[in-house]
Structure 1
Amino acid sequence: MDVEGALRERLVDAGVELVLSEGAASAGLREIARRAGVSHGAPRRYFPTHRALLSAIARRGFEELGVGSAAAIAETAALREELAAPARVYVAYALERRGMFELMFRHDLLDSGPRQGAADGPRLREAMLPMFARIVELVVRCRGEAMEPSAAVTAAALWSNLHGIAQLWSWASLQLALGGSPGGDGPDGPGRLVEAALKAHLGPAVA
């Protein structure tokens, strides 16, 4: 990697660290530059806008999530587990890396439109849409149906359900509703909720 590429990566590394430690709202250009050990104007040389830098940070999250999901799927044998395993990874990632998870889906803050020859690399849609397409594919296979618009709707509903579980659990709202302890997994923990979501959208698992 050349010097320019190394400095660009250093800025993204500093941004990732900041988002994870203090949340997406803290990831300003000046603070990222300070943490990266460069001048406050340096980020503009590599990222034309603040949104472009935040998008590069968010793409790291999608890369991490993709690697974790692929590893979980590689250890599965049953078809339904190919969807259940990454669903559990998704919720676990959200709870373990809350700042990054929050940023990844903030399309009001990120460059998520179609790419138009931007020098800062692919827009966020190139990171997020393949993830959703994979969910649709797995829903189709699990339900044994053709690739129809209804499969995308089911996948979107399942994704929304998983995202809601992750978000509400991180706020301790679900623990309160279920009468559990705020920090513990317990019998009504997120793993059990993920299974309930899969059953609701795909039907009961076939032994």
Structure 2
Amino acid sequence: MAKHLDLEEQEQLDQIKHFWAKYGNAISWLLIVVFGGFAAYNGWNWWQRNQAAKAAVLYEEVDRAVQSKDLDRVGRVLADMRADFARTTFSAQAGLLAGKALFDGGQLDKAREALQAVLNESKDEGLQAVARLRLASVELQAGKPDAALQVLQAKVPAPFEPLLADRRGDVLLAQGKTDEAKAQYEAAWKALDAGNEVRRLVAVKLASLGVAVDAGAKP
């Protein structure tokens, strides 16, 4: 009986050896791929968290520079962020913050560069829409209304559409295209919720053009 069991075990061992000889290499590579992928996934998540943490520190530096109105420092820190963390949300937010500060400080070329970088590098459609609104103001202030209108032609998330219409109205009015400006203001007014502060401002613009609307009424 013992001899029979030994032969059976030997047969099983031979079968295992045969199976491993035939499939062992493939199984080994499969395990390498699976565990390697798991390690890579964890490594990628760690890298992203590390990048976000470093970008957050630089964002705070941009914010402090903006608060102190140190525009040179704003530009330097923003350049560092774009060099190392261009694809992070913090970098896009810093670009918006810097763009506004540089615009308010009269540095239109640098403001344009900061806001254009948000459009080029960020994947967040909401942040891109805000960048478009601010970049249009930069172009209009720079005496480039056609460039401003071009910036405002892109498709944006629905909540931003009336804001872009309002800004298009501003640009068209600056060009002396009163009827087209009215149409854009009316589109913005109808799309905004009653009670919205922007809607009240649009109503004031329409009133200045001879169009009477109830700022608080529902569209």
TM-score range, shorter chain: 0.3 to 0.5
Higher relative contact order (CA 8 A, sep 6+): 1
Over alpha carbons, which structure has the higher Rg? 2
Q: What is the TM-score normalised by the length of structure 2?
A: 0.32
Structure with a larger share of its residues in helix: 2
Q: What is the TM-score normalised by the length of structure 1?
A: 0.33
